[in-house]
């Protein structure tokens, strides 16, 4: 009788520890941004404008294939001059009124991002900048290695689609299409 109780307790302990391990493993499907760079450039005949931010915040839930990212507009650095940065924040992006750009939604492909590999993915969601939200499908590459996800994504933002006005006086210095590159490393939460 004592032996049966010991075996039963051992079995229950094993089952409980197996459930705990399974739960711990399932929680590793959520990945948070560890380091990142979001950069953009506007290239016209008269001027090249470039800036970047290392302040991207974001999460990927690999099990649900969902994501959410945001970056504060005031964190962009590297403009040609302090005046250019001021114009970017005050005149074009109106950063006090619209402080962040964001993209959230779901990953279309059904790949298992918890396994090492290289994945070309499409993400569908709501992209918001300058207070204007649009549904977008963006394409990118994920490289998963040793529990770290590396994301690279390039896309274009059309200023007119986000109600970003270009004054006539600088029309030839600012492109109407802005090229954006996002590179981010994610680690399990």
Closest CA to 37 of 27, 51, 48: 51
- Residue 5 above 90 pLDDT? no
Ordered by where they begin, the domains of the chain are: 29-188 (2.40.128.110)
pLDDT tens-digit map of 21-75: 333 444 468 999 999 999 999 998 888 999 999 999 999 998 899 999 999 999 9
Least Cα distance to 37 among 75, 80, 89 occurs for 75
With beta carbons less than 8 A apart as the criterion, state whether 112 and 119 touch: no
What is the rounded CA–CA span in Å between residue 165 and residue 146?
45
For the CA atoms of the chain, what is the radius of gyration?
23
pTM of the model: 0.81
Render 11-44 in DSSP notation, one character per residue.
HHHHHHHHHHHHHHHHGGGEEEEEEEEEEEEEE-
């Amino acid at each position: 009788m004592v032996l049966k109780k010991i075996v039963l307790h051992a079995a229950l302990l094993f089952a409980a520890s197996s459930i705990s391990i399974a739960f711990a493993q399932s929680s590793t499907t959520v990945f948070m941004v560890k380091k990142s760079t979001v950069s953009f450039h506007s290239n016209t005949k008269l001027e090249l404008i470039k800036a970047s931010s290392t302040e991207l915040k974001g999460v990927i839930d690999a099990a649900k294939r969902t994501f959410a990212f945001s970056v504060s507009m005031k964190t962009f650095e590297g403009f040609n001059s302090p005046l250019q940065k001021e114009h970017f924040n005050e005149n074009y992006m109106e950063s006090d009124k619209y402080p962040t750009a964001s993209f959230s939604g779901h990953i279309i492909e059904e790949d298992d991002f918890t396994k090492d590999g290289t994945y070309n993915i499409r993400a569908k969601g709501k992209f918001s900048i300058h207070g204007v939200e649009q549904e977008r499908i963006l394409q990118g590459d994920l490289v998963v290695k040793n529990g770290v996800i590396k994301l690279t994504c390039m896309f274009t933002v059309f200023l007119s689609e986000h109600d970003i006005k270009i004054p006539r006086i600088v029309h030839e210095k600012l492109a109407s299409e802005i090229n954006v590159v996002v590179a981010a490393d994610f680690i399990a939460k």
